[in-house]
Copies of this chain bind each other. A is one copy, B any other.
Amino acid sequence: MYVSKAAPKTQVECDYDGPAMKTQVPGPRSQELTKQLGEIQNVGAVNFFCNYNESRGNYLVDVDGNRMLDLYTQISSIPLGYNHPALIKLMAHPDNLSTIVNRPALGILPPGNFPEKLMESLLSVAPSGMTRVQTMACGSCSNENAYKAMFIWYRNKERGHNTPSAEDLSSCMVNQGPGCPDLSILSFMGGFHGRTLGCLATTHSKAIHKVDVPSLDWPIAPFPKLKYPLEEFARENAQEEARCLEEAEDQIVKWRHKGKPVAGIVIEPIQAEGGDNHASPEFFKSLRNIARKHGCAFHVDEVQTGGGCTGKFWAHEHWGMDDPGDIVSFSKKLLTGGFYHKNELQPYRIFNTWMGDPSKNLFLTEVLNVIRTENLLEEVTRSGKALLNGLYELQTQYPGILSRARGQGTFCAIDVCDDATRTSIILKARNKGVVLGGCGDRSIRFRPALVFKEYHVHLFLNIFNDVLAQHK
């Protein structure tokens, strides 16, 4: 039986010692609250209710007093764990009160410190080749507006950078061409880019996200289905990637002939919601070249991969490219939504009331400071190695249950033999004090905070091993 090597406990400021369970989860108080909330809204997806006051570091505390090691972190959106002292301290500063209390319409009346705060926060981690950024309120709005920026850019090119014609302006008012052009975005099977109508037309991870909602006739290419560990299947994987690239290029040509040219390609560096599907740097480099060759913008969606969890701040940095994309969108761990873009993609005419929320930029500045001063990217790389090695060992020990362990940094996943077993494992782990989430058809995804240390990895692996032993 696997027993994980114990790592020395690394101090995380304001963390607990380990999980501590008082009831099954959801406990009686959570069940009562679920019933109450059910009177007001749909609770089909609610897991349990949380006590965020008592949660600390890597530990999520629920309303029944259960304390769980959190490897899901609010669908990968908590960068430094719960109640990080640096963020609590930031709220005490009187200057910050007014930023939180008075939410401005950023596009017309930004606060005086807005350029400085953008420089300190988002611009300080700008992807290679990008010096401009537009904030937005959430991930879906970020992608929706990024698509619009690509459409506008493409049409500007088409009309030789002249202003829209009178016919453009009149026809668009009634949703017709040429003002509303038949342009498309190329996306990939298994991709997830959000659930508003534009985003949803590029999302292909689960039918339940899409069914009953009208969509757009846009091209969809296959995403490589690779074998793991990647290094052991290099030749086969390269063939699979070549097949997908060829298909992507075919789709671009086909849709141009259909009269619905591809204005942009959108892709995740690792397909997350769709099942943690990886592809090689060579794949992304080739795809970037295909985009260039056909005059399409290249949009890298880092909503889930961005923020340091892969061991680099952006997952696309693993590609080693100076010019990774024309647009990089973000949200979740960045606390604010938004997108970086090349100069050529001026998001002129990208506008809404709030255009983000400067109070989130304030917190992001502090999060980035902590990432730097505590060398959290190195820590993530170290914890991620321990986690992936542990998963490799466990899949060797439980070959009937686990397979395809994979990951970059702590952004790891493993496949379970079937969906029912996956659900059972996730629920049993929760009752033993570990919060996990699923993705794809039968994967478990690991999305701990950046303060998840080797110590926590081994704590988790031991509990996970206990759960698996029960399933053997």
Residue of B101, B156, B164, B183 touching A214 (CB-CB under 8 A): B183
List B contacts of A173 (CB < 8 A).
189, 204, 207, 210
Give, as a whole number of angstroms, the nearest-CB distance from A4 to chain B.
Answer: 27
Known contacts A41-B132, A132-B41, A175-B216: A52-B352 contact under CB 8 Å: no
List B contacts of A148 (CB < 8 A).
195, 197, 212-213
Known contacts A74-B104, A133-B40: A201-B172 contact under CB 8 Å: no
Number of copies: 2
A47 to B212, CA, bound (A): 42
Residue of B74, B100, B183 touching A109 (CB-CB under 8 A): B74
Asked whether B91 lies within 8 Å of A77 as measured between CB atoms, the reply is no
List B contacts of A363 (CB < 8 A).
101
Interface residue A51 (Cβ < 8 Å from any Cβ of B): yes
Contact with B along A167-194 (1 / 0, CB 8 A): 0111011111001111110000100001
A359 to B155, CA, bound (A): 40
Asked whether A195 lies within 8 Å of B352 as measured between CB atoms, the reply is yes
A154 to B213, CA, bound (A): 10
A201 to B172, CA, bound (A): 10
Asked whether A134 lies within 8 Å of B41 as measured between CB atoms, the reply is yes
Interface residue A456 (Cβ < 8 Å from any Cβ of B): no
Give, as a whole number of angstroms, the nearest-CB distance from A411 to chain B.
Answer: 16
Asked whether B180 lies within 8 Å of A214 as measured between CB atoms, the reply is yes
Pick from A138-146, A387-395, A461-469 the stretch touching chain B: A138-146
Asked whether B215 lies within 8 Å of A180 as measured between CB atoms, the reply is yes
Contact with B along A38-56 (1 / 0, CB 8 A): 0111101111111111010
Give, as a whole number of angstroms, the nearest-CB distance from A288 to chain B.
Answer: 24
Interface residue A313 (Cβ < 8 Å from any Cβ of B): no
Pick from A29-37, A234-242, A315-323, A399-407 the stretch touching chain B: A29-37
Known contacts A77-B354, A100-B91: A172-B52 contact under CB 8 Å: no
Asked whether B201 lies within 8 Å of A169 as measured between CB atoms, the reply is no
A-B contacts, 12 of them at CB < 8 A, read A44-B348, A45-B108, A47-B109, A49-B112, A74-B105, A75-B105, A139-B353, A144-B196, A151-B214, A173-B204, A173-B210, A216-B216
